[in-house]
Structure 1
């Protein structure tokens, strides 16, 4: 029986080129409504933000501003460097964001794989466990952050009460106020909330794997750990990479979780929190827009790097 690929290969080159052109046109036709909506919803605000980053606009009067070039980004005056790129607090926010992204996404990926492997096994009550696992992810971030804020409170938080009862700590700990613990507290809450997302995507990939490979490995007596690293992990790698890039992009722009738990603390300040502080509290639209633009370019570079590596991976097959 001939497949579609066989039929396409048997067609003349001119007909194949015409068919490919028609498919591309149809693809753009179907994508055009979404692209127009995206341009209106995201494109215009983005361009406006980039435009404001080259001005001295103030939140009190957005219609009265002057073009100042790259002064919001970096400028040298009177022997000193000024601008976002010369602000130590900005670079601390960059460091905090990258650390948060690296640790939280790594932990979520590791735990997500373990949870997915567990849920992929056959056991009684599996459907109930699957539904329960998704609860943290279904809770809105603001709600979960506020809930954990109460649980981590140094005076009447339940975690301090439990740890003191068990003898792990001698006195209440200010989890979100201590400079050495606040970032780890934020990471813990993010891992609790987002691990189900990683588990869900990984589980979907696991359920699409062919059973032939595992039956052959079982017959050959190969250890399950070796089967995982040699068979399972390579097969779910594409889906896992999609989940990771989504989480990386989401973690790089983290705002609500950190702001609710630690407000504007420099110990946990992310790039989004820094931009919000400049825009809202200091009402410096130009300076805050410059920080937001830099954040956009960081995320865009990560996206382009992923697309480039994904293309290279596809070409290698």
Structure 2
């Protein structure tokens, strides 16, 4: 009797039409790999189109108009006039070497990027090689090197602006105490030393970031490769050139892209450290774009400058990928 009750109750549960319909709907959701990929990627692609690609497209369109942003003045199509205004007059090389405005900002951005990034990469790789060794306090050291990178850029800029102050800065006081300087030196008040100071600060801040990325790459290299090379008589230098560096190329590519593009688009450090001065010596392209867009309210030239920044950044990324990308390395 009990068995018949259980059987009837079980069959009744199994034949519940609502449960059967729900299970059938689950079974019917069968997609091919291509269809599933489209379903999963559609939200991501839609988000990128909304927050990245559309603003880029809108900015490029806006660079051909005056009075385009916020409709403060009637919109007027001017073609390439905004780009001609940025270019100025004269030969290209002469403009690049001695021009002011846009060309000065481009020159500062290129110096800032292609001086700081190689030094940061070399220092980061050296730190990563040291941190990859076994020693007491290894994990504490790995956490400690992230401290400079963890400080927000604008706060970091204000701290160093105080430290480099020509009257009461800690750097001047220290250099005078050890005999390098006789009198305080205005590091941030002279064009050459202001740019050098900004380079020093960004190298100090971001070398640890490069080290962390490359440390992850070093830890993914199998130890068996080093053991086999030692058995063949290879020393540390030969292991570095034949094993470490080739296998580190994918990680190095990621580190360079992650660091070069933000360096070329630097805004927070020059804005917080010097405001672009003295005499525009530390005015980067993005800071220049901010000045002409929001200080001078020249939205057309601002959009043109932003479009040029985007194209140059895209070119840098493609150069890195074309030079360092090797899918067969792993």
Q: Indicate conservation of the 8 Å contact 1:60/1:283, yes or no.
A: no
* 2:8 alignment partner in structure 1: none
- Residue from 82, 86, 89 that aligns with 1:72: 82
CA distance in 2, matches of 1:136, 1:55: 42
Question: Aligned residue for 1:79?
Answer: none
SS of residue paired to 1:172: coil
- 1:121 aligned partner: 133
Q: Which residue of 2 aligns with 1:272?
A: 286
3-state SS, counterpart of residue 79 of structure 2:
coil
CA shift at 1:218, angstroms?
Answer: 2.6
Residue 67 of structure 1 and its aligned partner are, at CA, apart by 1.1
Partner of 1:40: 50
Give the whole-Å Cα distance in 2 for the aligned partners of 1:32 and 1:57.
35
**What is the distance in 1 between the residues matched to 2:42 and 2:73?**
33
| Mapped partners of 1:236, 1:282: distance in 2 | 46
Distance (Å, rounded) in 1 between the aligned partners of 2:327 and 2:135: 37
Tell me how large the CA RMSD over aligned residues is.
2.1
Residue of structure 2 equivalent to 1:294? 308
2:111 is matched with 99
Q: TM-score, structure 1 length as denominator?
A: 0.85
Q: How does 1:119-268 map to 2 (within 5 A)?
A: 119-265=131-277, 266-268=280-282
TM-score, with structure 2 as normaliser: 0.82
Query: For 1:64, what is the secondary structure of its paired residue?
Result: coil
Residues of 2 paired with 1:214 and 1:274: CA distance? Answer: 49
- 1:58 positional shift: 7.1
Provide the rounded CA distance (Å) in 2 between the counterparts of 1:238 and 1:209.
Answer: 12
In the alignment, the residues of structure 1 paired with residue 183 and residue 36 of structure 2 have an alpha-carbon distance, to the nearest angstrom, of 66
Q: 1:26 aligns with which of 21, 32, 36?
A: 36
SS in 1 for 2:297: coil
Q: Measured at CA, do residues 58 and 165 of structure 1 come closer, stay the same or move farther in structure 2, by a change above 3 Å?
A: farther
Using the TM superposition, give the Cα deviation of residue 163 of structure 1 relative to its aligned residue in structure 2, in angstroms: 0.7
Aligned residue pairs total: 288
Gaps of 5+ in 2: 1-30, 90-98
CA distances 1:96-152 after superposition (whole Å, capped 9, x unpaired)? 111111111101100000110111011101111111111111111111111111111
Q: What are the equivalent positions in structure 2 for 1:297-308 lying under 5 Å apart?
A: 297-308=311-322
Deviations 1:51-100 (A, max 9, x none): 221111177843622111111011xxxxxxxx112273211211111111
- Computing the radius of gyration over CA atoms, which structure comes out larger, 1 or 2? 2
Comparing 40-49 with 161-170, greater Cα deviation is found at: 40-49
**From 84, 87, 96, the counterpart of 2:86:** 84
Is the CA contact (8 Å cut-off) linking 2:253 and 2:321 kept in structure 1? no
Alignment of 1:57 with 2:67, yes or no, is yes
